[in-house]
Structure 1
Amino acid sequence: MRIAIFTDTFYPDINGVAQTLKRLTTFLEAQNITFKVFAPDSSTEDLVSGPIHRSKSLSFFLYPECRLALPNLFQMKSEIQEFKPDLIHVATPFNIGLCGVYFSKKLNIPLVGSYHTNFDHYLQYYHLPFLSKLHWNYMHWFHRTCKKIFVPSPATYQLLKQHGFTNLELWPRGVDCQLYHPYYDKQSVKERYCKPDSYLLTYVGRLAPEKDLSTLLAAAKSLPSDINQKIHWLIIGDGPLREELESQAPPNMTFTGYLGGERLAEVYAASDLFVFPSSSETFGNVVLESLACGTPVIGAKAGGVQHLIKAGVTGLLCNPGKVEEISKAILYLLSNNRLREQMGRSGRQYALAQNWEHILHNLLCQYKDVIHEREIQKYA
């Protein structure tokens, strides 16, 4: 099996799409399956080696962490013809993804796609709702020749189904429970950021409008002053809203920038609660990482997050944008140590069952089905 992956973001970019595809290619390599990734060059010099074709790119103004590729079609076509893939997987609907769709048609190669980002939801936050119809028309056109469209959660599955998409398949995400675990030195982490006896509340993610951080900030400020004195917030990540958020943040809130690897995992583990107000997630990788570290999550009852949190068991769900609900949830869990600890244990047990190996083997079976169907049609 030879797989060509076309994506407008790839490792070392810091986002869910890049992380997921890096996990996929690592798995393919371990299975001795030949693959080639077509992706933009990166703003960082820490580029991985291997079967990756990088295209020149520019920073995308709405999402600077993603690159707008300027692919060389002649060079790309030459590499594709030499590689001779059995299947093309397009992961993003931008320039590189368009190249994947084009070569699938041009060279008669079976095509699958994966849907990672709810751009329609983003339009509301960027004051562009009038583009919604155009967005869905484009997404239909982009995916119309895909034999399968892989979606990360039941909520995303239902959303696309309601918009008339077919050939949908669930492709959930796993978590590395050897990296993300509850057994880090929690005390030393707390000493690094706050008073050792403080409650540590954490957010991890991009600092951007679609993450609804205004709701988180309002909830933090609405807590009673006697409780606030015992709380310290860690806001982990970066993005276009960082400067604005820092200027509005209360004194008990620290912005760390990006953290990764063990430094991120130990913060999850040391946190008493993970608070994630975003309702725009198609999955919510950071929620699963927090659960793996034994930390309960307060999240939005929307998108992919609502399927990761079992309300009352691994955390609490609040209606999107409801500041008072989030504040009440925080106060309730901070005043119930035993329940919080039980939720942490349940979250860890849930995360242990979200095994990447099993998830990616299932994806491989889906690839094989598409390739096999193509072979049957060829000789019919």
Structure 2
Amino acid sequence: MKLALFTDTYPPQVNGVAKTLKRLVHHLEKRNIPHIVFAPDSNQEELYADNIHRFISMSFFLYPECRIALPNLLKIKKQLHHFKPDLLHIATPFNLGLSGLTYGKKQQIPMVASYHTHFDHYLHYYHLEWFSNLLWRYMEWFHQPFSKIYVPSTETKEHLEKRNFANLALWRRGVDSELFHPLRSSSGFRDRYQLKRNYLFLFVGRLAPEKSLDVLQKIITQMPDELNREVDWLIVGEGPLRGALEQDMPSNVTFTGYLQGEELAQAYAASHLFVFPSTTETFGNVALEALSSGTPAVVANKGGVTEIVTHKKTGMIAEANNHDDFIQHILTLVNKPSLLKEMGLNTRQYALSQSWDTIFDNLLASYEEVIARKVLQTKYQKAL
């Protein structure tokens, strides 16, 4: 198998899609599968590699961490002709994805896609609901030619089925349970950020409207005073709302910006609860990372994250956009330390069952099935 991957988001960009695709590339390397990647440019030269081809890009207004590349079509065509891929995996529906789609159609190469982001959900937060019908018409057209469209959750699958998408297949996400581990907790991390109170509550994500940060702010500011005096909040991430949030949040809230690797793992492990009110997640990688770190999560009852957290076992599921319900669930856990501890054990046990190797190997098997089906179809057509 020889795979060509097209994506408009890739490290050093920091988001769940970019991280997942980077892990996929590492797995391809581990399994000795030849591959090339077409991705947006990077100002970090050390991230360039012979099989990663980058193009000038600009940020996408709905999601600045996702880039709109300006691909050189002749260069892409030349590189693909030389590489001779057996399969194209198109991860984003923007310019690079369109380039791959156009080439795959002309050359009749098997193609699969992956759907990562509910851009239609984002429109509400940017007052662009009028754009919804046009967006869906484009998305439906774009995804028609693919042999399989991989989605990260049953919720996402059902969302697309309502739009008459066909050939949908689950491709769930895993977690690095060695990196995100309860033993990463250390007093040194809390000292670094001067987190002295008895409890540490954590949010990790892009600081943007679609993450329901207005709900998070109400949770923090309307918590009962007797509990708030005992709680430090840690907000990990960057985004357009950071400046306004820093001005409006109380003194027990600390903003770290982006954290990665060991430092991010320490943040999860040092926390007592992960609080995540976002309703737009197709999966929710950050929630799974929290669970792997032994940290129960309180999440909204909308989106793919509900397939990660089990209510009253690995966390609590609150009514979406209802800050009072989040607060009540948080109070329940704080007032029952034995339940919180039991949940911490359950979260780790669940995360250990979510192996990246198993998930990626299942994806590779699905790739091979698509390729084999195309070979059989070609032989049949020739026989006719």
Q: Where on the TM-score scale, by shorter chain, does this alignment land: which range?
A: over 0.9
Alignment match, 2:94 = 94
Tell me how far 1:247 sits from its aligned partner.
Answer: 1.0
Aligned pairs for 1:250-289 (under 5 A) are 250-289=250-289
Secondary structure, counterpart of 2:298 in structure 1: strand
Distance in 2 of aligned mates of 1:301 and 1:273 = 17
Q: How many residues align?
A: 380
Distance in 1 of aligned mates of 2:372 and 2:8 = 28
| Partners of 1:6 and 1:100 within 8 A in 2 | yes
Alignment match, 2:6 = 6
Secondary structure, counterpart of 2:183 in structure 1: coil
Distance in 2 of aligned mates of 1:86 and 1:150 = 18
CA gap 1:106/1:175 in 2 versus in 1, 3 angstroms: same
**Residue 41 of structure 1 aligns to which amino acid in structure 2?**
D
**Residue 37 of structure 1 aligns to which amino acid in structure 2?**
V
CA gap 1:344/1:164 in 2 versus in 1, 3 angstroms: same
Alignment match, 1:107 = 107
Moved more, 154-163 or 49-58: 49-58
| Partners of 1:56 and 1:70 within 8 A in 2 | yes
Distance in 2 of aligned mates of 1:66 and 1:314 = 31
Distance in 1 of aligned mates of 2:174 and 2:328 = 30
Distance in 1 of aligned mates of 2:135 and 2:366 = 27
| Partners of 1:299 and 1:316 within 8 A in 2 | yes
**Residue 182 of structure 2 aligns to which amino acid in structure 1?**
P
Alignment match, 2:298 = 298
| Partners of 1:153 and 1:283 within 8 A in 2 | yes
Alignment match, 2:224 = 224
| Partners of 1:115 and 1:149 within 8 A in 2 | yes
Tell me how far 1:44 sits from its aligned partner.
Answer: 4.4
Could you list the per-position Cα deviations for residues 310-352 of structure 1 after superposition, in whole angstroms to 9, with x for gaps in the alignment? 0000000011110100111111111111101111110000000
Alignment match, 1:161 = 161
Could you list the per-position Cα deviations for residues 89-119 of structure 1 after superposition, in whole angstroms to 9, with x for gaps in the alignment? 0000100011111011111111100000000
| Partners of 1:12 and 1:46 within 8 A in 2 | no
**Residue 325 of structure 1 aligns to which amino acid in structure 2?**
D
Q: Which runs of 5+ in 1 are unaligned?
A: none
Could you list the per-position Cα deviations for residues 255-294 of structure 1 after superposition, in whole angstroms to 9, with x for gaps in the alignment? 1000000101011001010000001000000000000000
- TM-score after normalising by structure 2: 0.97
Moved more, 279-288 or 187-196: 187-196
Tell me how far 1:131 sits from its aligned partner.
Answer: 1.3
| Partners of 2:197 and 2:232 within 8 A in 1 | no
Distance in 1 of aligned mates of 2:47 and 2:106 = 30
**Residue 56 of structure 1 aligns to which amino acid in structure 2?**
I
| Partners of 2:62 and 2:122 within 8 A in 1 | no
| Partners of 2:219 and 2:327 within 8 A in 1 | yes
Alignment match, 1:173 = 173
Given the alignment of the two structures, is residue 361 of structure 1 paired with residue 361 of structure 2, yes or no? yes
- TM-score after normalising by structure 1: 0.98
Tell me how far 1:130 sits from its aligned partner.
Answer: 1.4
Tell me how far 1:224 sits from its aligned partner.
Answer: 1.4
| Partners of 2:196 and 2:232 within 8 A in 1 | no
| RMSD across aligned positions (CA) | 1.1
**Residue 222 of structure 2 aligns to which amino acid in structure 1?**
S
Distance in 2 of aligned mates of 1:266 and 1:130 = 42
Distance in 1 of aligned mates of 2:2 and 2:369 = 14
Tell me how far 1:17 sits from its aligned partner.
Answer: 0.9
Moved more, 318-327 or 52-61: 52-61
Given the alignment of the two structures, is residue 120 of structure 1 paired with residue 108 of structure 2, yes or no? no
| Partners of 1:42 and 1:67 within 8 A in 2 | no
Query: Identity over the aligned pairs, expressed in percent?
Result: 51
Distance in 2 of aligned mates of 1:51 and 1:43 = 17
**Residue 14 of structure 1 aligns to which amino acid in structure 2?**
V
Q: Which runs of 5+ in 2 are unaligned?
A: none
